[in-house]
Structure 1
């Protein structure tokens, strides 16, 4: 990893020690004095940490080793670490260090203080066009970076998009990411039902085209407040996706409908972003007509998302979670030797 690219203000990962990390505590409310939890998932929790000396904040993902073994996710975890360690992209969360003990593995990452896009979307109902355009453009840049490195993301959804303090979007959670050589296909059944491309559901083998399908679904959800294909039962969602009829709300404009329908074409080879000119075609679509891609990459745009970010304690933009006193079982299988 090139330390040269590390901005001076951040701590080089090599000097970050587990014992230097201390939990940030809620300062008020019913959880006052408890450690701040930023999120809870099937595998573990993400906690807000800081260092005694530097006062920089980190998000630390803590995952039960035993559960990873039980759900046969060892390869996924090792691959997630490998990917995140190698990534140097402003639109993807940065991994600083990993640690482990007998019960957990810990991943110490960027703290994106603006919170999840999902939370913001629920708060406001649906996004104004400029906010949706900006969020999607950040994702397009993350995709361009990953696809160039032959990595499919496969888990796009508002829950996996975080806002940094400036309102720029970072992609988090690489549990479903996969390395794939151009021209190859993979047959695993992964993703979030609402965002799954038809070829995954039909088990026909899939490639990078699935990321463009999910981009279309994301644009729809950001503008409408809910995804186009939904139901409480996954089987019904799959049936709707295969049926493929997109019903647009009346307030959605022509440019938005155009980019969504081109990204969500049933045939992967015809999807915007997956034809011969690649991701450039997405950038050049008229829905992004006002986007200055160069300035976005340099971080020189004023993010319209800043108005979604609340001011207050560092955890103000996150839901609150009670502390979890249960301890995971120990695991000595040794799958995490290289972690």
Structure 2
């Protein structure tokens, strides 16, 4: 009888997705709300990244709306160079995002290890992320937090954009004014509070490209005020040995991305700005059709025998975690007895299974179903659903919360020192 009592319960793969559907593997990241685990789907054997967010911490940090918005926005996105959502669900303690697994580490990890990257490598990453940004902008989505920390490599070496915690829908009819993002990568129009839209992402890509090439950012400051002045006023300068690391065409591309006039910024000069960027001399070596089909061999293949992330998270999980993650059956309870925030998560953080459900928009202007998703390997190519998502501005929080300039504090100075927030690697 004892053996029968210990026999595991069969998993209902036909029902709503839950944690029982996955085998929990190593911990690969940690953030403010929870951790990131590598997991394997018990039925398909596919590997994924599981990001789990503690509901109580989420309420305390007043981030409930952001978590729900991120969950909804990710359902609208499917692109070869984005860390895509595959499943979403919740239990009594946590909300879960199951995302494409990126085993190659983030570009911050590799930049700190190498100091700088070769021009051909940087051009390849910039081209792949530019493809992702063009897709987002076509569907009225701004990322707003592009930086090396949020660019992840898969096991083959392809770059993927992640962390949509402060991504937002935009409309040309209504400029955004909230300050949000990582300050060192913010476009000058954000700091000027004169209103901004999608060109801010291309500025951030330019800052990333400069940093990857030269091992330093183009605009720096020891304080928030100094950094704001540098981004807003300082002329773009290159290191003395820049010509040894970057071609003249590359420097011209950087100048194009880092033009303070959003209307003159590379990719933003006219309606076909992305095509203009593709024809820029720096990108002449890129076969864009082959690139977007993931047929170009990446210039760098991550070492699969080494951990491309901070291995201390696994040790911390084993030795220090008071409440280790495990699958638990949900309790029956009346949602009316929950706090308003907990009830909001219960009702609005809906389950999602990319093999069973349709990607759709949650916004009034676009209530139609977008398309079905073709199931593929979590690390292989994807069949893009190409959603259309025009929508008005909506509030969001992130590394810098949207607020008045008077509220800037020491948190923003820490951004200049670039702490690694690994939980965001799979956001």
**CA–CA distance in structure 2, aligned partners of residues 47 and 190 of structure 1:** 27
**CA–CA distance in structure 2, aligned partners of residues 101 and 192 of structure 1:** 31
**CA–CA distance in structure 1, aligned partners of residues 149 and 162 of structure 2:** 9
**CA–CA distance in structure 1, aligned partners of residues 58 and 188 of structure 2:** 28
Classify the secondary structure of the residue corresponding to 1:335. Answer: helix
Distance change (3 Å), C-alpha of 1:173 and 1:13: farther
Name the counterpart of 1:271: 265
**CA–CA distance in structure 2, aligned partners of residues 157 and 233 of structure 1:** 19
* 8 Å CA contact 1:259, 1:285 repeated in 2: yes
Deviation at 1:145, TM superposition (A): 0.7
| Runs of 4+ off more than 6 Å | 12-15
- Indicate whether 1:186 and 2:196 are aligned: no
Name the counterpart of 2:366: none
Query: Which residue of 297, 310, 315 corresponds with 1:319?
Result: 310
**CA–CA distance in structure 1, aligned partners of residues 15 and 258 of structure 2:** 43
Name the counterpart of 2:3: none
Deviation at 1:265, TM superposition (A): 1.2
Deviation at 1:71, TM superposition (A): 3.0
Name the counterpart of 2:283: 288
Name the counterpart of 1:148: 138
For residues 280-301 of structure 1, the C-alpha deviation after alignment (integer angstroms, 9 at most, x for no partner) is 2221211111000000011110
Classify the secondary structure of the residue corresponding to 2:29. Answer: strand
**CA–CA distance in structure 2, aligned partners of residues 167 and 143 of structure 1:** 19
Distance change (3 Å), C-alpha of 1:304 and 1:101: same
- Indicate whether 1:254 and 2:248 are aligned: yes
- Structure with larger Rg: 2
* 8 Å CA contact 2:17, 2:89 repeated in 1: no
Classify the secondary structure of the residue corresponding to 1:162. Answer: strand
Name the counterpart of 1:33: none
Q: How many residues align?
A: 311
* Residue pairs, 1:1-339, within 5 angstroms: 16-24=17-25, 36-249=26-239, 250-251=241-242, 252-276=246-270, 277-306=272-301, 309-312=302-305, 316-320=307-311, 321=313, 322-323=316-317, 325-327=321-323, 332=339, 333-336=342-345, 337-339=347-349
**CA–CA distance in structure 1, aligned partners of residues 15 and 155 of structure 2:** 25
* 8 Å CA contact 1:23, 1:47 repeated in 2: yes
Deviation at 1:138, TM superposition (A): 0.7
Q: Which consecutive residues of structure 2, in runs of 5 or more, have no partner in the other structure? A: 1-12, 325-337, 350-427
**CA–CA distance in structure 1, aligned partners of residues 114 and 135 of structure 2:** 30
* 8 Å CA contact 1:47, 1:59 repeated in 2: yes
**CA–CA distance in structure 2, aligned partners of residues 13 and 43 of structure 1:** 30
Classify the secondary structure of the residue corresponding to 2:144. Answer: coil
Deviation at 1:90, TM superposition (A): 0.6
Q: Which has the bigger relative contact order, CA under 8 A and spacing at least 6?
A: 2
TM-score normalised according to structure 1 size: 0.86
Distance change (3 Å), C-alpha of 1:41 and 1:198: same
Classify the secondary structure of the residue corresponding to 1:115. Answer: coil
Q: Which consecutive residues of structure 1, in runs of 5 or more, have no partner in the other structure? A: 1-11, 25-35
Classify the secondary structure of the residue corresponding to 2:152. Answer: strand
Distance change (3 Å), C-alpha of 1:209 and 1:14: farther
* 8 Å CA contact 1:244, 1:266 repeated in 2: no
Distance change (3 Å), C-alpha of 1:13 and 1:127: farther
**CA–CA distance in structure 2, aligned partners of residues 234 and 102 of structure 1:** 40
Name the counterpart of 2:425: none
Distance change (3 Å), C-alpha of 1:233 and 1:22: farther
**CA–CA distance in structure 2, aligned partners of residues 62 and 80 of structure 1:** 13
For residues 112-159 of structure 1, the C-alpha deviation after alignment (integer angstroms, 9 at most, x for no partner) is 111111111111110101110110011110011101110011110011
Name the counterpart of 1:27: none
* 8 Å CA contact 1:150, 1:182 repeated in 2: no
**CA–CA distance in structure 1, aligned partners of residues 104 and 67 of structure 2:** 26
Name the counterpart of 2:329: none
